[in-house]
């Protein structure tokens, strides 16, 4: 009677609850950058390069730090930072699966958060309501008059992250440092008044060497995002450091490709 209405589904095509959860967590992981001291979940993965750091603010709500973009008199959530002294990766994934951040525009007497079970932390920043809450099936109302405004006590605390220092973006370059092979590029600091850096015959004025876009960058302290010059070499970079008579050091960097000066791009 019901012939043709149902088809047998091969076992290989059946998605179990465990598979569904794993797929969901893997999708979340794609937007997480890991740094030495924190994890950062990005809603806007290009915000590091696109916006000036003075447009960005990081405020504390409990143990999490929403990163907010201030643009056109609005506040937009671009990322959430989780410090490793409070979260491991599994706890970050659990928080992101269970909780959300709500942002309400200024000028309202009441705010309503839909699909909520309970509100965890709530503050006002630059007139906007910013709250963390647990997901659920209720609509929770918050009277605006009872919410603490933190803007006057806010101290500029956002420090732009160098996305190329994230764990999954670390350099695959092999470095030969004074005859010893290293996987990846170490941070090497210099004193400009005493030290000399030479790269493929070019004299470089920089405070330190660090990873940049999978290659090696020469940076000044005042700008940790944009190097004064860099090498994009996916093979071997040879670094030889020797002492100078003045107590400083000479650092000679050799690679297949020449230094690219940022000013010339």
pLDDT at position 249 is: 93
The parts of the chain modelled with pLDDT lower than 50 are 1-7, 9, 15, 20, 156, 164, 264-265
Residue 243 in any domain: the answer is yes
pLDDT value of residue 4 = 47
Number of independent structural domains in the chain: 2
- pLDDT at 261 (0 to 100): 59
The Cα 46–Cα 217 span in angstroms is 20
pLDDT for 115 = 94
Residues 6+ apart with CB under 8 A from 122: 61, 129, 130, 131, 132, 142, 147
pLDDT tens per residue, range 56-101: 888 899 999 999 888 888 888 989 999 999 999 889 999 999 999 9
pTM over 0.85: no
- Assess if residue 153 is contained within a domain: no
Q: Write down the pLDDT at residue 13.
A: 52
**Is the domain of 64 the same as that of 120?**
yes
Give the pLDDT score at 19: 53
Q: Domain for residue 7, yes or no? A: no
Q: For residue 156, is it within any domain?
A: no
Does residue 53 sit in the same domain as residue 139?
yes
Q: How far is CA 218 from the centre of its chain?
A: 21
How confident is the model at residue 91, as a pLDDT? 92
Backbone region of residue 57 per phi and psi (left: phi > 0; alpha: psi in -120 to 50; beta: other values): beta
Residues 181 and 123 in one domain: no
74 and 182 in a common domain:
no
Please give the residue range of the domain that contains residue 193: 170-264
- On whether the CB atoms of residues 150 and 125 are closer than 8 A, the answer is yes
pLDDT for 22 equals 59
180 and 77 in a common domain: no
SS3 16: coil
């Amino acid at each position: 009677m019901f012939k043709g209405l149902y088809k047998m589904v091969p076992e290989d095509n059946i998605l179990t609850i465990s598979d569904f959860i794993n797929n969901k967590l893997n999708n979340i992981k794609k937007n997480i950058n890991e740094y030495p001291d924190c994890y950062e979940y990005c809603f806007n993965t290009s915000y590091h390069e696109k916006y000036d750091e003075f447009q960005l603010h990081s405020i504390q709500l409990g143990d999490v730090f929403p990163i907010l973009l201030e643009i056109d008199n609005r506040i937009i959530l671009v990322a959430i930072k989780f410090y490793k002294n409070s979260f491991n990766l599994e706890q970050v994934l659990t928080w992101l699966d269970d909780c959300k951040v709500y942002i309400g525009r200024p000028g309202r007497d009441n705010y309503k958060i839909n699909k909520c079970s309970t509100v965890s932390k709530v503050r006002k920043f630059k007139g906007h309501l910013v709250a963390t809450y647990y997901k659920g099936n209720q609509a929770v109302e918050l009277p605006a008059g009872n919410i603490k405004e933190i803007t006057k006590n806010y101290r500029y605390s956002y420090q732009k992250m160098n996305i190329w220092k994230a764990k999954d973006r670390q350099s695959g370059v092999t470095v030969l440092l004074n005859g010893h092979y290293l996987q990846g590029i170490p941070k090497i600091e210099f004193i400009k008044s005493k030290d000399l850096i030479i790269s493929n015959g070019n004299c470089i004025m920089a405070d330190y060497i660090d990873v940049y876009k999978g290659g090696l960058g020469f940076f000044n302290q005042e700008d940790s995002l944009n190097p004064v010059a860099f090498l994009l070499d996916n093979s071997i970079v040879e670094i030889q450091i020797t002492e100078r008579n003045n107590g400083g050091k000479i650092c000679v960097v050799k690679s297949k490709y020449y230094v690219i000066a940022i000013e010339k791009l």
